[in-house]
């Protein structure tokens, strides 16, 4: 029997047992679709988080006061010392490092913004002119903080604040107050929406020294540093640690985290999550495979006398085995193809429902889903096919 005839004859069988075939194909379809949709969801979540992290800057290092380490005793503790605060002088030192392209000191606090008979609580960032390029922010109108003018009483408003306080008038050039201090609006940020849980449309930015004076502090909350290149990230980290250790009397009391390291960690965790979800979905494929085996075993029993006849008219055992193989192959191939299509449709619906989530099934997951469906289908047909091939023709013919 030729290969083409084997596939043709088994296709006819698949088509004639319509309900049975539809049910098996449905089981396979759901299994493959589950793998595709769930990995699309997992990988979408991973890409979403990675994109969010990438959008806050490039080659970014964050310098924080204190040591994020619990091992060993903090030597200063014995002498009643606390970790030193980060200061503006520290930030300026970092700006001179050869590996560093630019830096932005950061102070964060809450204050009351009032203008034109309106008043509300806002988040205040104190920083310098380089905050815009470092954090990939955009200005909609006017100008940002003036370079080197840490004391100037200028303020940059988030887009929503500008709209709320000056709905009908031009915001640039208006006077506003932050806790009784006067500021002149010099620029408005472009609407950016939420990144990393912060709504940049509802913040104001003022020069760092104004912020320190507003919040009555001499320390910094963070120093954001941008390395000159991706390769300069690690050397920059070393240099920052070294510089601040010297400036802090040999005490290593700061922590530097790199955007890269956080990214890699999230990437790893979410990738593992995707794999785990794919594995769970694959279980349903194996269940579908067992269903194929069960149905094929029933088919062998149902068609015993037919198998006997095929043997009587000269079909060798190998032909009969391959007929049942081919039948299982049709069922699992159809299930794999429909499952893939259904999975793609499901991912599309996810993307339509949550436009922020890039829910694209990774290629490896689709390929793996299809392959697992085909392989379980074929493995599941080995036992029934062998059973059919080994039937004794005389007994098989006698059975009705």
Partner 1 sequence: MIELTGITRIFRMGGQTIYALNQIDLEIQDGGYVAIMGPSGSGKSTLLNVIGLLDRPDSGSYQLDGRTVTDLSEPEQAQYRREKIGFVFQSFHLVPRLTAAENIELPLVLSGLAPSERKLRVNEALRAFDLSDRATHRPSELSGGQRQRVAIARATIMQPTAILADEPTGNLDHRIGAEVIALLENLHKTGTTLIVVTHDRELGDRAHRQLILRDGKIIADKKA
Q: Among residues 77, 312, 348, 375, which is the contact residue for partner 1, using CB under 8 A?
A: 312
311 binds partner 1 per the rule CB under 8 A: yes
In sequence order, the 6+-apart residues with CB closer than 8 A to the CB of 18 are: none
The minimum distance between CB 387 and partner 1, in angstroms, equals: 16
Q: Among residues 316, 349, 367, 371, which is the contact residue for partner 1, using CB under 8 A?
A: 316
Q: Among residues 140, 261, 273, 317, which is the contact residue for partner 1, using CB under 8 A?
A: 317
Size of the site for partner 1 (CB under 8 A): 25
Q: Which two tokens stand for residue 1?
A: 């029997």
The minimum distance between CB 382 and partner 1, in angstroms, equals: 19
Residue count of the chain: 400
196 binds partner 1 per the rule CB under 8 A: no
The minimum distance between CB 302 and partner 1, in angstroms, equals: 11
β pairing state of 203-207 and 118-127? parallel
Q: Among residues 68, 73, 79, 313, which is the contact residue for partner 1, using CB under 8 A?
A: 313
Give the H or E element holding residue 141: strand 139-142
Per-residue interface string for the shown chain with partner 1, residues 164-183, x marking contact by CB under 8 A: --------------------
**Closest listed residue to residue 392, CA positions, set 314, 299, 306, 311:** 311
Q: Which is nearer to partner 1, 61 or 326 (CB)?
A: 326
Q: Which is nearer to partner 1, 24 or 185 (CB)?
A: 24
Q: Among residues 241, 273, 286, 315, which is the contact residue for partner 1, using CB under 8 A?
A: 315
Q: Which is nearer to partner 1, 19 or 78 (CB)?
A: 19
Q: Which is nearer to partner 1, 50 or 397 (CB)?
A: 397
**If 0-12 CB within 10 Å is exposed, 13-18 middle and 19+ buried, where does residue 128 land?**
buried
Give the H or E element holding residue 93: helix 88-95
Give the H or E element holding residue 254: strand 254-258
44 in Cβ contact with 360 (< 8 Å):
yes
The minimum distance between CB 370 and partner 1, in angstroms, equals: 29
308 binds partner 1 per the rule CB under 8 A: yes
Contacting range for partner 1; rule: CB under 8 A; set: 40-48, 132-140, 271-279, 309-317: 309-317
β pairing state of 139-142 and 86-87? unpaired
β pairing state of 154-157 and 181-189? parallel
The minimum distance between CB 19 and partner 1, in angstroms, equals: 14
The minimum distance between CB 45 and partner 1, in angstroms, equals: 48
1 binds partner 1 per the rule CB under 8 A: yes
397 binds partner 1 per the rule CB under 8 A: yes
91 in Cβ contact with 223 (< 8 Å):
yes
193 binds partner 1 per the rule CB under 8 A: no
- 122 — phi, psi (to 5°)? -135, 160
In sequence order, the 6+-apart residues with CB closer than 8 A to the CB of 60 are: 134, 224, 225, 226, 227, 258, 259
**Closest listed residue to residue 187, CA positions, set 132, 110, 224, 114:** 132
**Closest listed residue to residue 253, CA positions, set 40, 82, 41, 31:** 82
Cα dist from 353 to 37, 240, 350, whole Å: 14, 44, 5
394 binds partner 1 per the rule CB under 8 A: yes
314 binds partner 1 per the rule CB under 8 A: yes
129 binds partner 1 per the rule CB under 8 A: no
The minimum distance between CB 330 and partner 1, in angstroms, equals: 14
**Closest listed residue to residue 178, CA positions, set 148, 206, 139, 219:** 206
Contacting range for partner 1; rule: CB under 8 A; set: 12-20, 37-45, 130-138, 276-284: 12-20
The minimum distance between CB 2 and partner 1, in angstroms, equals: 5
The minimum distance between CB 315 and partner 1, in angstroms, equals: 5
Site residues (vs partner 1, CB under 8 A):
1-2, 5, 9, 12-13, 16, 305-306, 308-319, 393-394, 397, 400
């Amino acid at each position: 029997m030729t290969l083409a005839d084997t596939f043709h004859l088994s296709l006819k069988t698949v088509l004639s047992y319509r309900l049975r075939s539809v049910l098996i194909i449905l089981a396979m379809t759901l299994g493959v679709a589950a793998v595709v949709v769930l990995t699309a969801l997992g990988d979408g979540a991973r890409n979403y988080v990675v994109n969010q992290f990438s959008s806050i800057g490039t080659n970014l290092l964050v310098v924080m006061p204190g040591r994020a380490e619990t091992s060993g005793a903090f030597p200063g503790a014995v002498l009643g010392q606390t970790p030193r605060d980060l200061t503006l002088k520290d930030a300026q030192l970092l700006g001179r490092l050869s590996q560093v392209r630019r830096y932005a000191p950061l102070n964060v606090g809450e204050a009351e913004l009032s203008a034109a008979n309106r008043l509300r609580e806002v988040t205040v960032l104190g920083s310098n002119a380089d905050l815009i390029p470092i954090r990939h922010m955009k200005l909609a109108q006017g100008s940002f903080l003036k370079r080197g003018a840490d004391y100037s009483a200028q303020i940059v408003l988030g887009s929503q604040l500008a709209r709320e306080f000056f709905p009908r008038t031009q915001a640039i050039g208006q006077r506003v107050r932050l806790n009784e201090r006067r500021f002149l609006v010099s620029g408005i940020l472009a609407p950016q929406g939420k990144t990393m849980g912060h709504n940049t449309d509802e913040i104001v930015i003022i020069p760092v020294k104004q912020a320190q004076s507003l919040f009555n502090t001499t320390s910094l909350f963070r120093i954001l540093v941008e390395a000159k290149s991706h390769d300069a990230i690690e050397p920059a980290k070393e240099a920052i640690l070294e510089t601040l250790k010297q400036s802090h009397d040999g005490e290593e009391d700061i922590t530097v985290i790199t955007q890269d390291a956080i990214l890699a960690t999230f990437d790893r965790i979410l990738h593992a999550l995707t794999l785990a979800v794919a594995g769970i979905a694959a279980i349903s494929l194996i269940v579908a495979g067992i269903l194929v085996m069960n149905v094929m075993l029933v088919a062998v029993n149902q068609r015993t006398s037919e198998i006997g006849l095929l043997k009587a008219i000269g079909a060798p055992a190998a032909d009969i085995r391959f007929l049942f193989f081919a039948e299982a192959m049709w069922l699992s191939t159809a299930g794999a193809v429909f499952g893939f299509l259904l999975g793609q449709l499901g991912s599309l619906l996810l993307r339509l429902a949550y436009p922020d989530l890039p829910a694209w099934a990774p290629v490896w997951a689709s390929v793996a889903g299809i392959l697992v469906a085909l392989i379980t289908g074929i493995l599941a047909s080995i036992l029934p096919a062998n059973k059919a091939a080994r039937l004794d023709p005389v007994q098989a013919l006698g059975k009705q």
